[in-house]
């Protein structure tokens, strides 16, 4: 029994990372996908945040191709479900980084900054959407700010993926080159 407790305690970060990964995929499947279906179209972008960057024309096309009800649904999605998703993916990425690089916790700054960028981008999108719904002109400056933050978020995500990939490679190399005990 004591051996089992020690084993679980030794590997708790791996179990946390695996658990958060499971939560991540369950969240996408059972929450994110259903709650985003109310504003998706058969063709075209399903969200402004999915592209690396966007222009004023892309934003106008995104808004004009949807009904007011779909845009209100998109607003609610950004405020609630996408904000929670940023927290969920940050927990997953951070737990994997801690598992692979326990001594280099400074790497945690990258997924946390990515989450904050995602939230700020959502906030800017909500301001743009509110302006559009109130029949006001869409600010090209706000679109540029939102697009820049979105690009920054994707760069941080890519760096996070790279850190985790390097961690996987190091773990595999260590495992494969470790002397075998008979």
Question: Has residue 70 been placed in a domain?
Answer: yes
Question: Has residue 89 been placed in a domain?
Answer: yes
Q: What is the pTM of this model?
A: 0.89
Concatenated DSSP letters for 102-117?
TT-GGGGHHHHHHHHH
Instruction: Find the domain containing 152 and state its range.
Output: 2-177
Question: Has residue 29 been placed in a domain?
Answer: yes
Domain count, the chain: 1
Question: Which residue numbers in the chain have pLDDT < 70?
Answer: 1-5, 7-8, 181-182
Question: Has residue 182 been placed in a domain?
Answer: no
List helix spans (H) across the chain: 2-10, 12-27, 33-36, 56-64, 68-76, 82-100, 109-133, 140-177
What is the number of residues in the chain?
Answer: 182
Per-residue model confidence (pLDDT) at position 7: 65
Question: Has residue 51 been placed in a domain?
Answer: yes
Measured CA angle at 88 (ends 95, 32), to 5 deg: 145
């Amino acid at each position: 029994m004591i051996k089992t407790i020690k084993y679980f305690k030794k590997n708790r970060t791996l179990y946390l990372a695996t658990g958060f990964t499971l939560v991540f995929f369950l969240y996408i499947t059972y929450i994110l996908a259903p709650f985003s279906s109310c504003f998706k179209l058969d063709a075209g972008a399903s969200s402004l945040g999915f592209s690396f960057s966007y222009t004023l024309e892309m934003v106008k096309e995104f808004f004009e191709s949807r009904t007011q009800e779909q845009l209100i649904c998109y607003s609610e999605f950004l405020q609630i479900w996408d904000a929670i998703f940023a927290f969920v993916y940050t927990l997953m990425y951070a737990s994997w980084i801690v598992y692979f690089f326990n001594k280099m916790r400074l790497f945690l700054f990258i997924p946390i900054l990515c989450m904050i960028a995602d939230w700020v981008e959502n906030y800017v999108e909500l301001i743009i959407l509110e302006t559009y719904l109130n029949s006001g002109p869409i600010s090209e400056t706000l679109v540029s700010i939102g697009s820049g933050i979105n690009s920054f978020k994707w760069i941080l995500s890519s760096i996070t993926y790279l850190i985790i990939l390097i961690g996987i490679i190091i773990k595999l190399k260590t495992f494969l080159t470790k002397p075998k005990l008979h």
